[in-house]
Amino acid sequence: MPLNKEALIRYRVINRCLVDSQYVSKAKLIRECEEALDIAPLGERTIDQDLHDMREDSRLGFYAPIKHSREKNGYYYEDSDYSIDNIPLNEEELESLSFASTVLEQYKHIELFTTFTGAVQKIVDAVNIRRILNTESSYPFIQFESAPEMNGSEYLKEIIEAIRDKRVLEINHKRFDSPKGYLHIVHPYLLKEYRHRWYLIGLNDDIKQIRTYGLDRILEVTPSNSIDYHDAGFDPEEYFKSTIGISGTYLEPEEIILKFTKFQSKYVITQPIHESQEIIKETENHVLVKLYVSPSYELISRILGWGVEVEVIEPDGLRAKVKSIIEEMGNLY
């Protein structure tokens, strides 16, 4: 059974009373809760249950050390430093939280995450984790891949709210191959991060097709109140199912066979290129890998990145494309 709002308010009122006073009568707890909730009367059984739940309920996780003194006719915390506002974590949990904070540090320059970082820091302070973070880096022996500052991250909050609230956006977007931006009316569906860049996927209102917009090329975002939002039933999993990267979703997926050297295959096997990856043949020197994906720009870039460690076997069109690019590269040297 879910915890209700009134019960949570009573827990906090009871906690405040026990923290502020050495001994608190049940009558005072009832009176303070009635005032906080603006209801009356509040039964003794309700307070009795609240005290029990604060002590025992594993869902709350307070395990509050509440005791009753017959002599003083009042309730008190056996541990005078206790409060439900304190977060009791063990050493393993502290270590995990410290590591998570270090990861989050990589994104502190992004406006949307800056607010989140502040919330995490409050938790860090609450558990006195500063005793662990007493150097510039919590884990000087771990080096993370540096996350570069992402242009367009200032639009994250506005785009997320538009997706959540189902609102149309007017986006001034500039293509890489264009000297100026163009206005697009977009029904936003998904915000996706790929290789340290953010992308918005949504329905272009003019051509009625799903399009992708790089946030680093957005010049301005304005909510549109003149057009009703259209929910096209966009399914992110299905949309990117046969694609590597962010582009190429308009291309039909094909059966692609790559021939890797034995050395490179170890990396490909332990870190698959795509979920459709299948090992179809393995010899002493080579491994044949089959994929079912669109022959996108990202796929070709990865193939070129593997250099002499890979050969495109099928399809012929992809093989010819890669060969042509390699020949053009050779002409440069």
DSSP state of 253: P
Kindly state whether residue 247 falls inside one of the protein's structural domains: no
Q: How far is CA 2 from CA 5, 39, 181, in A?
A: 10, 21, 50
**326 and 264 in a common domain:** yes
Final residue belonging to a domain, choices 77, 101, 118: 77
Same domain, yes or no: 54 and 121: no
The pTM of the full predicted model, rounded to 2 decimals, is 0.60
Residue 272 lies in a domain: yes
Q: Is residue 249 part of a domain?
A: no
Assigned domain for 268 exists = yes
| Residues 231 and 159 reside in one and the same domain | yes
- Report if residue 218 sits inside a domain: yes
Say what the pLDDT of residue 133 is. Answer: 39
Residue 248 is assigned to a structural domain of this protein: no
- Residue 244 within any structural domain of the chain: no
Shared domain check, 279 and 219:
no
Which residues make Cβ contacts (< 8 Å) with residue 277, sequence separation at least 6? 268, 289, 290, 291
E-strand spans in 102-217? 168-173, 182-194, 197-204, 209-214
Q: pLDDT per residue over 66-120, tens digit each?
A: 999 999 999 999 988 889 877 555 566 666 666 666 666 666 566 556 555 555 5
Phi, psi of 79 (to 5 degrees): -100, 110
Of 16, 12, 30, 26, nearest to 74 (Cα)? 26
**Contacts of residue 141, Cβ cutoff 8 Å, sequence gap at least 6:** none
Instruction: Identify the domain boundary among 25, 49, 77.
Output: 77
pLDDT 10s digits, 219-243:
999 999 889 999 989 999 889 999 9
The last residue of one of the domains, among 22, 48, 77, is 77
| Structural domain includes residue 116 | yes
Q: How confident is the model at residue 59 (pLDDT cuts 50, 70, 90)?
A: confident
Q: Rounded to the nearest 10 degrees, how much is the dihedral formed by the CA atoms of 150, 296, 290, 238? A: 70
As for how many domains the chain has, the answer is 4
Residues 288 and 305 both lie in one domain: yes
What are 86's two structure tokens? 């304190």
Cβ-Cβ contacts under 8 Å for 67 (sequence gap 6 or more)? 75, 76, 77, 78
Instruction: Say yes or no: 139 and 179 in one domain.
Output: no
Residues 185 and 221 in one domain: yes
- The CATH number covering residue 10 comes to 1.10.10
CATH number (domain holding residue 325): 3.30.70
CA distance 3 to 15: 17
Tens-digit pLDDT profile for residues 18-35: 999 889 999 999 999 999
Q: Is the peptide bond before 315 cis (omega within 30 degrees of 0)?
A: yes
Gap between the Cα atoms of 6 and 312, Å rounded: 64
Which structural domain range is residue 134 located in?
Answer: 87-147
Give bridge partners of residue 224 from the DSSP assignment: 168
Residues 53 and 122 reside in one and the same domain: no
Residue 193's CATH number: 2.30.30
Same domain, 178 and 195: yes
